[in-house]
Structure 1
Amino acid sequence: MTMTTEPVSGPPIPQRLTGRMKAVLVVLLVAQFMLAVDFSILNVALPKIGDTLGFSLSDLQWIATSFALGAAGFTLFFGRIGDLIGRKRIFLGSLALLGLASLVGGLAPNPEILIIARIAQGLATAAATPAGLALLTTSFPDGHLRQKALGLNGALMSAGFTAGAILGGVLTDLLSWRWAFFINVPVALIVLLVAPSVITESRPAVRPKVDLPGALTVTLGLLGIVYGLTQAGEHGWTHPVALVGLLAGAALLAAFHFVERRAAQPLVPLHVLKKRTVAWGNVLGLLAFVTETSLVYLLTLYMQKTLGFSALTAGLSFGVLGLGTVAGGMLAPKLISRTSTLAVLVGGGLLQAAFTGVLLFLGSTSASMALMLPAIFLGGVGNMLVIVGFMITATTGLPDHEQGLATGLASMSQQIGITMGTPVMSAIVTAATMGATSASAILHGVTVAIAANAALVLLGVLIAAVFLRARHGRTQN
C-alpha cells in the first residue's frame, strides 16, 4: 500500500488585518506621527522662544540644528543596535526619553537647558523611527498587508510634518510655545502604557558584535554632513564652516565604506548596499523628502513675504497639503496591488512634478491661492505615492534580521532629506534675489527655486525608470 504525505507548510498568511495587527498598527502609527510632528512644530515658535529665553538671533537656528544633528546623525547606528538587542526595547526606551526630554524642554528656564532637551529629542527620534519601522515591517507579512501598513505610516509621517507647522502656530498663538514641547508628554505616556502588551519583541537569534569603527565613522560622517548643510542654509554654501563640515563628513563616509569592506561583522553589510532596491530606493526617498519639505519652506516664504499673510494663516494653508499626503498614503497600496511599485514611483513622481510646475504661475496677489491650494493637494498625493513606493522598495526582499538596518537606512534618507531641502532651496532663493527683499524679488527667487524643485522630482522619476526597471516587475507587489 502506497502512502503519500502532504507537504508541510507554515501557518497561512492572513489576507486581512487581524485584531492584533490593528492594535500594533495604531500604536506604531501614533508614535511615528508624533515623531514627524517634532520636525516642524517649533519652526513658527522660534522668535517667541528667543524672546522668552534670551536667545540671540544668530543662535536661534541651534534649536533646529541640535535636533537635526541627533535625529539624522545617529539613525543608522540606532537602527542597527535595534537589530542586535531588540527593536521593542529600543522603541520603548527612546519614547520614554522623548517624553522626558519634551517635559524638560517645556520647562526650560534658559537656552542651555532647551538645547540639551532638543539634543535628547533628536537622539530619541533617531532610535525610535527605525525601530518603529522595523517593528512595522516584521509585524506584517511581505505583500499587500505590509504595503497597506507602510502606506498609512508614510501618509501619517508626511502629514505629521505638515501638522507640526500648523500645530506649532496654533499652540504658540493661543497658549505658549512651551506647549509645543508638552504635547508630546501625554502621547508618549499613552504609547508606553499600551505598547508593551501589544508589540512583540523582534531580535535576531544570534547577536553579532557591534562594529564600533563602522559606527564611529558613519555617525561622525553624518553629523558632519548635517552640520554642514545647516550652516550652509544659515551662512551660505561658501562659508568656511559649512565647507569644512561637508568635506569632513564626506571623507568620513568614504572611510566608513573602507572600514565596512574589512569588518568581520560590519554595521552595514555591503551586500545590502549593493542591492539595487536598497541603494536606489533610498536615493528616491531622499529626493522625495528634499522636494516636498523644502516646498513647504518656499511657500511659507511666498505667503508671508509676497502675499503678506501671518505665520498662522500660512501654516493653516498647509492643511490642504496634509490632506493630499493622507489621500496619497491611502491610495498607494491599492495602486501598487493593481499595477506595480515601479509604476507608482514613476506615476507619483510625474504627478508631483506636474503640480509643482503649476506653482511657477503664482502671482503677487492673494488670488493665486486658488491656484496654489489644489496644486499642493495633488502634488502632495504624488509625493506620498513616491514615499510609499520608496519605503516598500527599500525594505522588500531582506530577511527580518536585517529589517532594522533597512529601516535605519530608510529613516536616515528621510531625515537627511528633511534637513537638506531647506538649505538647498534657501541658497537658490538667495542667489536669485541677489540680496533684494521686496515682495516681487521674493516671488522671483521662490519661482526659480520651485523650478529647481520640480527638476529634482523629475530626476527621481528618471532614476526609478532606469535603475529599478530590471528588478521591479509586476511580481514585486
Structure 2
Amino acid sequence: MTTMTTAAVPQRARMDSRQKLILTLLLGAQFMLAIDFSILNVALPVVGEGLGFGLGGLQWIATAFALPAAGFTLLFGRIADLAGRRRMLLTGMALLAVGSLVGGLATSPAVLLTGRVLQGLATAIATPAALSLLTTSFREGHLRSRALGLSGALMSAGFTVGAVLGGVLTDLLSWRWAFLVNVPVALVILVLTPMVIKESRAAERARLDVPGAVTVTGGLLFLVYGITGGSPAALAAAAVLLIAFWIVERRANAPLAPPRVLTKRTVTWGNVGGFVAFATETSLVFLMTLYLQQVLGYSPLITGLALGVLGVGTVAGGVAAPRILARMGGRWTLVSGLLLQAAATLALLGLGETRASLGLLLVATAVGGFGNLVAIVAFMGIATSGLPDGEQGLATGLATMTQQVAITLGIPIMSAVATARGDVLAGIHTATLVNAGLVVLGAIVVGTFLRRK
C-alpha cells in the first residue's frame, strides 16, 4: 500500500449529493444485516422459554443464521459480479423481509429456525453485493477509504448495537420485534434502491464455475457446522472439500475464485488481519456480556447499554480511520489498530467482582473498539485494493466470508476457554488474556507479510 499524506488528497475528492445518497442507502442495508447476527443473543433464554427450546437447542438459533451466512457468501459474491450487484442486493433484501416476518410470527422452534436460515441466506446474498456496489461506486483512493471507513464502522458496530437493540426490544416489547424491526427497513431499501443505484456487473460475462461453487460452499458449510457443533467428522469433510476447491480452481477455465486473486498478497494477508480483528472483538463482546450478567448481575437491558459504549468507540474509529490510512498507509494502520485493540483488551484483566469495575470496562472497550475499527477499515481497503471492478464482488465476498467465519469461530473458542476454569471470573480473565495474545500475534504476522516487496 502506498503511503500518502493528507495534503496529497485533492480538494475535489468530495462526494456529490448522489454519492451521498448511494452511501446512505448501502450503509443502511449493511448495518441492518450486521445487527441480525447478534440481535437475539441476549434474548435467547426468553426465546427458548417462549417457544419451548431446550437448553441445548438454543445454540441452533445462532447456528441456523451462521451456516448459510458464512457458507454461501463467496458464491453469491461472485454471482453478484456476473448477474448484477443491484439485482442481488434487492434479492437479499426481499429474502430478509420474508425471513424476518417468518421468525417474528413463529409459533414453534422449527418455524423460528426457518426464519433464521432465511435471514442468514439473505445476509450471504446482500452483504457482498452491497459492499461491491460501494467499492465500484467510489474510485480507489480517498473517497473509497471514507466510504469503507463508514461501512466498516457500521458493520462492526452492528454486532454491538444488535446486542443493545435486542436487550431493549426484549425488555420493553417482545423478542419478536428483534425480527419484525427488519421488515419496514428492508421495504424502504427495496423501494429506493432502483431509483438511486444503477445496475453494476462485470464486463466479461463468464459462466459460473459450478464445481468450484459446490466444493467451496460445501466446505464452508461443513467448516461452520464443525466449529459450532464440535464435529470432527464435519471438520474433516470441510478440509477435503476445501482442498478439492483449490484443485478445481487451478484447472477451471473461468474459476469462481481465481488462484491469482486468492494468492495476491494484499488479499491474503488483508483477510488474515480482518479475521483476527473480527474473531477477537466479537468474542470479547461475548466475554463482557458474560461478565456483566453472571459476575456483576446486570440485566440484559443494562448489559446492552453498557456495551453500547464499545459501539461508540467503533463508530469513532470508523470516522477517524480514513485520515489514519492517508497518513500511515494500509499496512501500518492495520497493525496499529490491532495493537491498540490488544492493549485495551489487556487492561480488562483488571476487572473484579464488584461494580466498581464498570468504569474500567467502559473505557477499555471503547478504546479497544476504536482500535478494532481502524484495523477493520484498513483490512477492507487492503483486501479490495488493486483489483478491477469486475472482481470486486469476489473481493468483497471473500472479505464478508472472512467476517462471518471469524465471528462464528471466535465465540465458541473463547467460550470454551472461559468455561474450562470452572470459576466464572477466572475463566473470563484467562479467555481475555488469550484474546489479547491472538491480536498481538495477528499484528506481528500481518505486519511481517504485508511488507512492501
Task: Tell me what 2:343 maps to.
Answer: 354
> 1:206 Cα shift?
2.6
Q: Distance in 2 between matches of 1:465 and 1:111?
A: 46
AA matched with 1:414? Q
Structure 2: stretches of 5+ with no match in the other structure: 1-9
Q: Distance in 1 between matches of 2:311 and 2:302?
A: 15
Q: Distance in 2 between matches of 1:24 and 1:14?
A: 19
> 1:327 Cα shift?
0.3
Q: Distance in 1 between matches of 2:417 and 2:46?
A: 27
Matched ranges for 1:236-385 at <5 A: 242-385=231-374
AA matched with 1:18? D
CA offset digits 1:372-414 (Å, max 9, x no partner): 1101000000000100000000000000000000000000000
Matched ranges for 1:185-224 at <5 A: 185-224=183-222
Q: Distance in 2 between matches of 1:424 and 1:134?
A: 31
Normalised to the residue count of structure 1, the TM-score between the two structures is: 0.92
AA matched with 2:452? A
- Give the conservation status (yes or no) of the 8 Å contact 1:346–1:461: yes
Q: Distance in 1 between matches of 2:253 and 2:20?
A: 40
Task: Tell me what 1:179 maps to.
Answer: 177
Which of residues 70, 85, 88 in structure 1 aligns to 2:86?
88
| Secondary structure, aligned partner of 2:41 | coil
Question: In the alignment, does 2:215 pair up with 1:226?
Answer: no
Matched positions, count: 444
> 1:464 Cα shift?
2.2
> 1:247 Cα shift?
1.6
> 1:150 Cα shift?
0.1
Q: Distance in 1 between matches of 2:353 and 2:49?
A: 31
Larger Rg: 1
Which of residues 405, 426, 442 in structure 1 aligns to 2:424?
442
Task: Tell me what 2:61 maps to.
Answer: 63
Q: Distance in 2 between matches of 1:324 and 1:71?
A: 26
Task: Tell me what 1:4 maps to.
Answer: none
Q: Distance in 2 between matches of 1:406 and 1:192?
A: 24
| Secondary structure, aligned partner of 1:318 | helix
| Secondary structure, aligned partner of 1:142 | coil
- Give the conservation status (yes or no) of the 8 Å contact 2:272–2:446: no
> 1:371 Cα shift?
1.1
| Secondary structure, aligned partner of 1:45 | helix
AA matched with 2:58? L
Which of residues 30, 33, 56 in structure 1 aligns to 2:31?
33
CA offset digits 1:416-455 (Å, max 9, x no partner): 0111111010111122x1xx3xxxx111111011011001
Task: Tell me what 2:400 maps to.
Answer: 411
Question: In the alignment, does 2:438 pair up with 1:451?
Answer: no
> 1:192 Cα shift?
0.9
- Give the conservation status (yes or no) of the 8 Å contact 2:33–2:123: yes
> 1:25 Cα shift?
0.2
AA matched with 2:81? D
Task: Tell me what 2:132 maps to.
Answer: 134
- Give the conservation status (yes or no) of the 8 Å contact 2:262–2:268: yes
CA offset digits 1:270-311 (Å, max 9, x no partner): 000110000111111111000000000111111111112122
Task: Tell me what 1:8 maps to.
Answer: none
- Give the conservation status (yes or no) of the 8 Å contact 1:230–1:423: yes
Q: Distance in 1 between matches of 2:59 and 2:428?
A: 21
Counterparts in 2 of 1:420 and 1:305: CA distance versus 1, 3 Å? same
AA matched with 2:223? I
Matched ranges for 1:101-120 at <5 A: 101-120=99-118
AA matched with 1:32? Q
AA matched with 2:198? T
> 1:136 Cα shift?
0.3
| Secondary structure, aligned partner of 2:417 | helix
CA offset digits 1:251-279 (Å, max 9, x no partner): 21111101111111111000001100001
AA matched with 1:143? G
CA offset digits 1:110-166 (Å, max 9, x no partner): 111111111111100001000000000000011000000000000011111101001
> 1:205 Cα shift?
2.3
Normalised to the residue count of structure 2, the TM-score between the two structures is: 0.96
> 1:175 Cα shift?
0.6
Question: In the alignment, does 2:443 pair up with 1:461?
Answer: yes
Matched ranges for 1:143-182 at <5 A: 143-182=141-180
> 1:14 Cα shift?
5.1
Range moving further from structure 2, 203-212 or 138-147 = 203-212
| Secondary structure, aligned partner of 2:199 | coil
AA matched with 2:311? G
Q: Distance in 1 between matches of 2:431 and 2:322?
A: 31
AA matched with 1:96? A
**Identity level (%):** 61
AA matched with 2:435? N
- Give the conservation status (yes or no) of the 8 Å contact 1:13–1:141: no
| Cα RMSD, aligned residues only | 1.2
AA matched with 2:146? K
Range moving further from structure 2, 155-164 or 462-471 = 462-471
> 1:173 Cα shift?
0.9
Q: Distance in 2 between matches of 1:347 and 1:270?
A: 29
| Secondary structure, aligned partner of 1:39 | helix
Q: Distance in 2 between matches of 1:253 and 1:34?
A: 30
| Secondary structure, aligned partner of 1:109 | coil
| Secondary structure, aligned partner of 2:38 | coil
